[in-house]
Amino acid sequence: MTSDMVVVRKEGLYCVPGQFYIDPWRPVERAVITHAHGDHARGGHRHYLAATPGVGVLKSRLGDIHIDGLAYGETVVHNGVTISLHPAGHVLGSAQVRMAYRGEVWVASGDYKVEADSTCTPFEPVRCDTFITESTFGLPIYRWQPQQEVYDDINDWWRANAAQGRASVMQCYSFGKAQRILSGLEADIGPIVCHGAVQTLNTVYRDSGVWLPPTVMVGDVDKEDLKRALVIAPPSAAGSPWVKRFGDFSDAFASGWMQLRGARRRRGVDRGFVLSDHADWPGLMQAITATGAERVIVTHGSIAVLVRWLQQQGLQASGFDTEYGDDEADDAAAGAATDAATDAATDTDAATTEAASAEAVCTDAAPVGARHA
């Protein structure tokens, strides 16, 4: 092709030969949706295409929409562009969009993580010429510990609180994060109580064949048993009359942003657990390398740092100006994005500068020199 297959228009990312959009932020005729978080899946489009496992979540969040599901790896041709969807490992139904046209292959990642978990199909790298990637946690300071260690820490916190007769209130995002945490809980510690926003999505996950431990609503539990409960609630429930029903409780927040100094303090919680559904810095390096792409376009997050690093590795790299945000603030937790920006400015200023020169902060990052064969 003599021109780019995907460009940015005022409506969103646009596949020029295919005449469709990917995760558009304004209403369009045809939208291919990577996943159901609010910054990527919006109402008002005439026709939606998404991975089959994500159709139920999209309908639960967007209501009565005209949507077709496409199984992972299956293809459909639209205006000469062969489209297929491939697992992104982010949340239930998340997908990368592969577009092939006249011998050229582009892949739009949406959001992704490379560590597998039991609540969604694991990330699969897709070979391509051009890779459009997120960079939510695209700074070298972001390096996640194995998720099982986080699950163990959460269970230990819950167990200690239950022994003291205190409920444990976990603030996390209703779609994806909540179900991932649920999958790692030791349910014999006590009852697991879910806020209505979480329970609705639990039903969608279970209907999709994802195993989750038994969960109940607050009204289903005796007052005495609530003192041993783990409570899963969105950040918007903090300080509400609903959460005050748990009396003298210990609270926590689960997010990748908890790695930043001050984030837990701003949240005003007792504990912060670092658990993200996005790739960390090594994960971004791993995913980009595995594509074999010679060109990488960064859509949101720490764009400048990642672009500079990739350029220093010999790749063609640039950024797209998009309206994608922080899905980890998807439950009206506006403070999460604000905290992140504030903390990043304070905690990672030096890291950002060093990342630009690469050697100081990235000596143990995987090289991104693989070329598309």
pTM of the model: 0.89
**Is residue 1 very low, low, confident or very high in pLDDT (cuts 50, 70, 90)?**
low
Angle between helices 303-312 and 349-357 (to 10 degrees): 20
Q: What is the pLDDT of residues 300-342, one digit of tens each?
A: 899 999 999 999 999 999 999 998 986 655 443 333 333 344 3
Residue of 13, 9, 10 lying closest to 23 (CA atoms)? 13
pLDDT of residue 328: 59
Is 360's pLDDT higher than 70? Answer: no
CATH superfamily for domain 6-142+277-357? Ribonuclease Z/Hydroxyacylglutathione hydrolase-like (3.60.15.10)
- pLDDT above 90 covers what percent of the chain? 82
Ranges of CATH 3.40.50.10710 domains, the chain = 147-273
The phi, psi pair for 91, rounded to 5°, reads -145, 175
Q: What is the pLDDT of residues 184-207, one digit of tens each?
A: 999 999 999 999 999 999 999 999
If phi over 0 gives left and psi between -120 and 50 gives alpha, with beta otherwise, what is residue 367?
beta
Ranges of CATH 3.60.15.10 domains, the chain = 6-142+277-357
Rounded to whole angstroms, the Cα distance separating 62 from 131 reads 28
CATH superfamily for domain 147-273? Metallo-hydrolase/oxidoreductase (3.40.50.10710)
Structure-block tokens of residue 161: 């609180």
Q: What is the pLDDT of residues 234-278, one digit of tens each?
A: 999 999 999 999 999 999 999 999 998 777 778 889 999 999 999
pLDDT average, residue stretch 56-81 = 97
